[in-house]
Structure 1
Amino acid sequence: MKAGFWVAPEGEDTAMTVMPIGAEPPLRARKLNFLATSTAEEMIRRCNHTARLLPEIADALAIQKANEPGRLFDITDFPEDDRTLITETLGEGEVAGVAALANGVTAQMQEAVMAGVWRIRFTDAEGRLIADYVEVASIPAAVRQACSALPTTIVHGPAPAGAMNVMPVLTEIADRTARYRDGDPAHVITFSLFPMSPEDMGFLQTTLGAGPVQLTSRGYGTCRVVATGARNVWSVQFFNAMDTIILDTLEICDIPSVAIAAEEDFRDSAVRLREIEEAYFK
């Protein structure tokens, strides 16, 4: 059995993942270098939508606050070349994920190389693209939207045979979620600090359930962030290069900080995007 809060299905090596641990690193250099190619030069000459969009994104970054709603830029009806050029210009940053919304709609999220800038693609139940956005925000609004319908109470039966500490943990989670208010600091439960049997972990996972959001952050190492089926309760797991869990926690918070762009990120990203615009689009 795989160690950690999320237990892999029998015979499988990875559970509750957005993309495989150990995949190639963010494509910063490759994506930005594309802009220096003759192909990009030709695309830039004819992609007027992209040239107009970039300074608008930079302006939004310059005034965005970490605790305020973000700004959406609808590129759904942009020409295909423009949307390709936007993809290449933004690149792929450290955080990516998916959020399951109502009516079978899925939001596929990829942070740009500029932190606080996100590419959000919405697809229907058949996988067809229905909307395409660039968003300036700490975290895409789709994440909070997906989690807003989750229950705030935790219901469970008696502890199973072999359980050791799961009932006190569930009591702690229930108490903390009942008292949590937006803006409160995260309360972290670290499983490595006390013994949890496989029966404990299995009962805890079954009780909390899987939520609608999965995120992967590849900053310093790999971090997997998964919403549970209880509002404001998140599994946050850190992995080494061998796909071994080195830190396994639950966080009671709005959104775990590891996935959120900070205030200074917006200003740095505004400067960086203006430099890209000046170098390649002027």
Structure 2
Amino acid sequence: MTTDLPTTGRTTGTGTLAFLATSDAEALIARCPGVARLIPEMAAALERQTATAPGLLFDLAPLSDDERLLLNEILGEGEVGATVALPDGVVAEIAESVFAGLWRVRFLGPNNAIIADYAEVSAVPQAVRRAAAMTLPRLDLGDLPAGVMNAPAVLVEIADRAERYRPGEPNHIISLTLMPMLAEDIELLVDRLGTGPVKIVSRGYGSCRVQAAAVHNVWSVQFFNAMDAILLDTIEVGDVPAAAQAAVEDFHDSAIRLREIGEAYFQ
């Protein structure tokens, strides 16, 4: 149900530090006062952010081309990426930076023109939550066909849990891997749950692909090994799955590392 997202290959902070140590970076830094201002502001935002607080946004539109290039090199690309389909053909492209909890978010119009470009400090970007909230309010079970084994019971459980879920409660996890499922069962689940507007890929848990269902508070979460064979196939009912979110400790760690870069190269 989910698909991989394109990456730039900058998946660790090592490349950032190597770049900043070059003479080319020194000349670029001198031309980028906007980035010098943003780094401590972002670090401060990370320091005060919590898992449930609204995202703190930094508009990158005013930056020059050089400043945007430098910021891209500093932030790099972390473990989580997402695409979010919004109304009127708008798509949000989201990439976690190497500083967990600090995201790059771009909104593209139908002609791929950039509508908005910003950085966000949050557990998961607001665009993900807003799009997920646009899904159907409840699961319509309809008539369940004969010839299936466990899908009807699973659908009833999903419908009940999704309707009773309240923000702040832990997600309810249903492991499809641990129960006998016919091909017809899987087909029925895919058909009834549908495909929602959010696709997320996390490389921090081996490989994890998260797909919002067309029903509110329902997610497909699949874990794969290095050979791209599925290890665990689950349905989560509740908030955006933890595999796609920054943890509380991530904010503190990212704040320290980003502030160190600011103090070493921008003062």
TM-score above 0.5: yes
Instruction: Tell me the CA shift for residue 27 of structure 1.
Output: 4.3
**Change over 3 Å in CA distance of 1:159–1:20 after alignment to 2:** farther
For the 8 Å contact 2:82–2:200, the answer to whether it is kept is: yes
Q: Who is 1:174 aligned against?
A: 159
For the 8 Å contact 1:47–1:82, the answer to whether it is kept is: yes
Q: Who is 1:129 aligned against?
A: 114
Q: Who is 2:91 aligned against?
A: 106
1:270 matches 2:255: yes
Compute the RMSD of aligned alpha carbons.
1.6
Instruction: Tell me the CA shift for residue 265 of structure 1.
Output: 1.1
Corresponding residue SS for 2:177: helix
Corresponding residue SS for 1:192: coil
Q: Who is 1:73 aligned against?
A: 58
1:49 matches 2:26: no
Amino acid at match of 2:213: T
Amino acid at match of 1:174: A
Q: Who is 2:3 aligned against?
A: 17
Corresponding residue SS for 2:197: strand
Corresponding residue SS for 2:39: helix
Corresponding residue SS for 2:166: coil
Amino acid at match of 1:70: G
Cα distance in 1 between the residues matched to 2:66 and 2:112: 21
TM-score by length of 1: 0.91
Q: Who is 1:196 aligned against?
A: 181
For the 8 Å contact 1:235–1:250, the answer to whether it is kept is: yes
Corresponding residue SS for 1:68: coil
Number of aligned pairs?
267
Corresponding residue SS for 1:132: strand
1:239 matches 2:218: no
CA-to-partner distance for each residue in 1:1-53, whole Å, 9 max, x for gaps? xxxxx3xxxxxxxxx203279x9672432233211122211110000100000
List 4+ stretches of structure 1 deviating above 4 A.
none
TM-score by length of 2: 0.96
Cα distance in 2 between the residues matched to 1:20 and 1:45: 31
CA-to-partner distance for each residue in 1:177-230, whole Å, 9 max, x for gaps? 011000010100001111111111111101111000011111131111111101
For the 8 Å contact 1:97–1:216, the answer to whether it is kept is: yes
